[in-house]
Amino acid sequence: MMNTKSTKCIARLLLIALFFAFENFFSQYNGAVGINTSSPNSNSVLDIVSGNKNKGILIPRLTENQRNAIVINSATDDGLTVYNTTEDCLNYWSLADNEWKSVCGQIGKSVFTIDCANTKANGTYVEGKTLNTSHYLTVTVNVTKKGNYTITGTTSNGYNFYGTGVFLSTGVQTVQVQGQGTPSVVQSDTVQLFANGVSVSCTPAVTVNVLSAAGTYSISCGSATVNGVYTKGVALGAGNTITLSVTVTALGSYSITTNTVDGISFSGSGTFTSTGNQNVTLSGTGTPTSTADKVMTITSNSADGASTCNVTVVMTIPVKKVLHIGNETVYGYSAFTGPSRSLMDSQTNFGTTASSVVKSGGYTHTSLGASPTSAALLAALNNKPDLVIIGYSYTPTALEASYIANYLNKKGVVIAFQDEASSSQNMMRAIFSDPTISANAGAGAGSVYALTNTNDPILNGPFGDVRGKNWGEDASGTINVTGLTSGFIPFSYAQPINSTTSRTGITGLRHSSLNFIWFGDGGFLSNENANGNQYTSNTIEPFVAPSSGGYFPVEKSTYGYAGNGYAAGSMQVQNSIIFANALAWAIKQAETNGINTP
């Protein structure tokens, strides 16, 4: 039988021996436990020392899913710590916020994918030229978890890209990753992308063309052509380019860029292989943020230090609301019907195609007819149409004229064609705030009036230059306005070129500060031919816009009664061209300085 006392004694001796054997590893002092130290820090419950200064401490390593599977006891687990292998960072449980926190940042490392197809290198890369702030990657990412990110792009040609930051929201985003270094040789480089240290396989690959030293060449902005349609909020595509004429005097690379204006820019690069005159294409990128035309400053890397120049990108004008007042007949008096309406709605004239004369979203049309009540007129104007077109046979009262004047003073736009004296007088007195203005009936059907040589957008616009040419009176009598002293730009006077009867006054004008155009003929837009072809009469229907040309406005080639040395039909009139130019001006005013302009 074993001796119990002997056994206990042996056990005590073994424990004492173990204690002395491990006393260099474990110690306890003042309530603190030390490992590899005989004097643990009194402010800690555990003080671990690496004896050879070559080891660390490992705490439980869990994936994020494993960490999330822990059933938290709120009363006891505040400060529970693990190493998150998914995030590659220490995490601890916060009782105050009731969530896992990351010591790498309050929201930890992000999770995202890179959209290689929408990732590209910006700037021009030249052999031996150090990268600067214009050299960067535009990287499109889809963030599925907020947090810190690091994106790198490496090449084997002496330069790389690096960017870091924080994604504060999920979803598709675009970031810039700055370039650094100096390209060593002329070649096409593939950029290897890394997302948070993980290699990204890109198809198609992100590439950079490194060019040779710059050639010597001059650029000609005067002959530049802006191609494509530009619409607010619509990203530029392959058709949005600038074709630029250059003259090359020494071979080498070229890099031609523009500044960024309202979200868009253009650039082109390559190598000249021959001298002489040639064209370079600059490709557009970005999304326009406004409808204002954009003046792009073009800069080149020509070895002779060529100066900059400017090219204007014309933006598409959004859809405009048009209020028509006048007879709704085939003649098109108010432009609600007839060839004048067809001219307005033609994509040839006002459209979103590359060949449209004026880039415009078009119009929505509303008509009040020829005899609206004062209440109906007021209600329609209070609805803030962008543009009002007035034609035969609307005759506004003094009250209605005051409504129109008030609309103009609120930056509305009015194009008015009138041939009744008292209502024309009402309009002029209200708009010019002058009770002394008079309006009187003048010459009759077939009268032809000379246009001034004023360089005004109505007389010299996108549809033609009619300065010094003529417009023609329709079937009724022209209105002559007298008493105007200032505040207007005259387009035509009261004296017909085909009459010897002396007449005075103004028959066509534009207000100097209000958006108002007026001609003293209610039938200015008249043409009963639905196809817009020239009507056979020499004394009526002076408007021409043939459907065969997309209702593009042209002069009426035979017009006017005989008189003052002119044979019948020997004159040409430009009514349709004037109207089209007026529309182009009107919708531009409505967009930039109109009643609905923000």
Q: How many CA atoms lie within 13 A of 440 on its CB side?
A: 11
Q: Tell me what pLDDT residue 539 has.
A: 97
Within-domain flag for 520: yes
Contacts of 84 (CB under 8 A, 6+ apart): 62, 63, 64, 67, 90, 91, 100, 102, 108
- With a pLDDT cut of 70, the percent of the chain lying above it is 94
Shared-domain flag, residues 275 and 162: no
Averaged over 528-535, what is the pLDDT? 98
Domain that holds residue 68: 61-102
Shared-domain flag, residues 239 and 355: no
Counted residue by residue, the chain has a size of 598
CATH code of the domain in which 140 resides: 2.60.40
Residue bearing the bigger pLDDT, 1 or 249: 249
Shared-domain flag, residues 90 and 119: no
**C-alpha closest to that of 363 among 584, 594, 598:** 584
Shared-domain flag, residues 455 and 331: yes
Give the pLDDT band of residue 8 (cuts 50, 70, 90): low
Q: How many CA atoms lie within 13 A of 553 on its CB side?
A: 30
The full DSSP string for 506-537 is: EEEEEESSSEEEEES-TTTT----TT-PPPS-
Shared-domain flag, residues 545 and 488: yes
Shared-domain flag, residues 508 and 365: yes
CATH code of the domain in which 369 resides: 3.40.50
By the 10 Å C-beta count (0-12 exposed, 13-18 middle, 19+ buried), 584 is classed as buried
Averaged over 496-516, what is the pLDDT? 98
Per-residue pLDDT tens over the stretch 341-357: 999 999 999 998 888 99
Q: Tell me what pLDDT residue 106 has.
A: 58
Shared-domain flag, residues 270 and 194: no
- pLDDT higher than threshold 50 for residue 17: no
Q: Tell me what pLDDT residue 19 has.
A: 47
Per-residue pLDDT tens over the stretch 296-345: 999 988 887 777 889 999 999 999 999 999 999 999 999 999 999 999 99
Averaged over 25-52, what is the pLDDT? 77
Rounded distance between C-alpha atoms, residue 153 and residue 190, angstroms: 9
Residue bearing the bigger pLDDT, 435 or 229: 435
Q: Tell me what pLDDT residue 12 has.
A: 57
**C-alpha closest to that of 575 among 531, 509, 526:** 526
Within-domain flag for 445: yes
Per-residue pLDDT tens over the stretch 561-571: 999 999 999 99
Q: Tell me what pLDDT residue 223 has.
A: 86
Within-domain flag for 288: yes
- pLDDT higher than threshold 70 for residue 180: yes
Rounded distance between C-alpha atoms, residue 393 and residue 13, angstroms: 125
Within-domain flag for 1: no
Shared-domain flag, residues 73 and 35: no
Within-domain flag for 261: yes
User: 517 with 510: CB under 8 angstroms?
Assistant: yes
Q: How many domains does the chain have?
A: 5
CATH code of the domain in which 305 resides: 2.60.40.10
CA distance to 5, 327, 418, 474, 519, per residue, from 392 (Å): 131, 6, 6, 11, 12
- pLDDT higher than threshold 50 for residue 2: no
The mean pLDDT of the chain is 91
Cis peptide bond N-terminal to 204, omega within 30: yes
Contacts of 155 (CB under 8 A, 6+ apart): 189, 190, 191, 192, 208
Least confident window among 3-7, 73-77, 289-293, 535-539: 3-7
Of the three residues 313, 347, 370, the one that is the final residue of a domain is 313
Shared-domain flag, residues 126 and 271: no
Shared-domain flag, residues 143 and 181: yes
Residue bearing the bigger pLDDT, 95 or 307: 95
User: 401 with 426: CB under 8 angstroms?
Assistant: yes
Give the pLDDT band of residue 105 (cuts 50, 70, 90): low
Give the pLDDT band of residue 3 (cuts 50, 70, 90): low
The full DSSP string for 403-455 is: HHHHHHHTT-EEEEE---HHHHHHHHHHHHT-TT-EEEE---TT-EEEBP---
Shared-domain flag, residues 386 and 442: yes
Residue bearing the bigger pLDDT, 430 or 77: 430
Rounded distance between C-alpha atoms, residue 397 and residue 430, angstroms: 10
Within-domain flag for 8: no
- pLDDT higher than threshold 60 for residue 467: yes
Of the three residues 211, 245, 266, the one that is the final residue of a domain is 211
Within-domain flag for 9: no
Shared-domain flag, residues 273 and 363: no
Its sign, for the CA torsion 420, 425, 426, 427, is positive
Averaged over 251-268, what is the pLDDT? 93
Give the pLDDT band of residue 109 (cuts 50, 70, 90): confident
Give the pLDDT band of residue 15 (cuts 50, 70, 90): very low
Within-domain flag for 10: no
